[in-house]
């Protein structure tokens, strides 16, 4: 396992080192080469080193160089060294952050990030937050919170009374 992890780190470091010398968008031939990743479901386990090599050799050339300084496309999370290595460690930890008992470290890190965000945004001490799995759930949660707040202003407690408010407003 150690040699495999070191190989992944070497390949990742090489990718990031070489990114300044390559195109931001992959060449069409590299994108077409992604077909080599498909095929029928293997009937037996694959050698992890071979999978890593395949992903790097075929996948890396077909990436958009968003981690490089010449990328001005979509808003993409950064590949800062601290973020990258923390992500690798988190992957090795393989924690479920649903409850404190399932991962004390994940729970504590969420508390710390909440404190920092409250400070950074100048929110009142004691403000709360919820951490979600990604952008889709963040947007979904924001819409649910907005719905609750707007209906509360209109005199309807959606948490207590449900969404039967639709029938109430159909007669207006």
Q: Report pLDDT for 77.
A: 66
In a domain? residue 99: no
Helix runs in the chain, H state only: 2-18, 28-32, 48-54, 81-93, 104-121, 135-153, 158-161, 165-170
In a domain? residue 132: yes
From 74, 93, 112, the end of a domain falls on 93
In a domain? residue 98: no
Residues 78 and 9 grouped into a single domain: yes
Q: Which of 63, 62, 113 is nearest to 86 (CA)?
A: 113
Q: How many CB atoms lie within 10 A of CB 113?
A: 12
Residues 166 and 123 grouped into a single domain: yes
From 64, 93, 122, the end of a domain falls on 93
In a domain? residue 121: yes
- pLDDT per position in the chain (172 positions), as tens? 899 999 999 999 999 999 889 999 999 999 999 999 998 989 999 999 999 999 999 999 999 988 877 778 887 766 778 888 888 889 999 999 888 999 999 999 999 999 999 999 999 999 988 888 888 999 999 999 998 998 889 888 888 877 765 566 555 5
**Which domain covers residue 12, as residue numbers?**
2-93
Residues 55 and 125 grouped into a single domain: no
Q: Report pLDDT for 68.
A: 73
Q: Report pLDDT for 78.
A: 65
Residues contacting residue 67 through CB under 8 Å, at least 6 positions apart = 16, 19, 78, 79
Residues 35 and 117 grouped into a single domain: no
Residues 76 and 139 grouped into a single domain: no
From 48, 69, 93, the end of a domain falls on 93
Q: Which of 2, 115, 12 is nearest to 56 (CA)?
A: 12
Residues 68 and 17 grouped into a single domain: yes
Place of tokens 């508390």: 111
């Amino acid at each position: 396992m150690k040699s495999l992890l070191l190989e992944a780190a070497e390949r990742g470091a090489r990718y990031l080192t070489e990114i300044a010398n390559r195109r931001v968008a992959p060449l069409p031939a590299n994108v077409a080469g992604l077909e080599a990743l498909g095929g029928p479901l293997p009937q037996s386990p694959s050698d992890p080193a071979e999978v890593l090599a395949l992903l790097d050799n075929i996948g890396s050339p077909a990436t958009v160089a968003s981690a490089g300084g010449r990328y001005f496309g979509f808003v993409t999370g950064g590949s800062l060294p601290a973020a990258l290595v923390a992500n690798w460690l988190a992957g090795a930890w393989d924690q479920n952050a649903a409850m404190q008992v399932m991962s004390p470290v994940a729970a504590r890190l969420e508390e710390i990030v909440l404190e920092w965000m409250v400070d950074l945004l100048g929110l009142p001490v004691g403000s709360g937050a919820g951490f979600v799995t990604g952008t889709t759930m963040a947007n979904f949660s924001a819409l649910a919170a907005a719905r609750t707040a707007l209906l509360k202003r209109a005199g309807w407690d959606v948490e207590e009374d449900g969404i039967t408010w639709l029938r109430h407003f159909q007669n207006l």
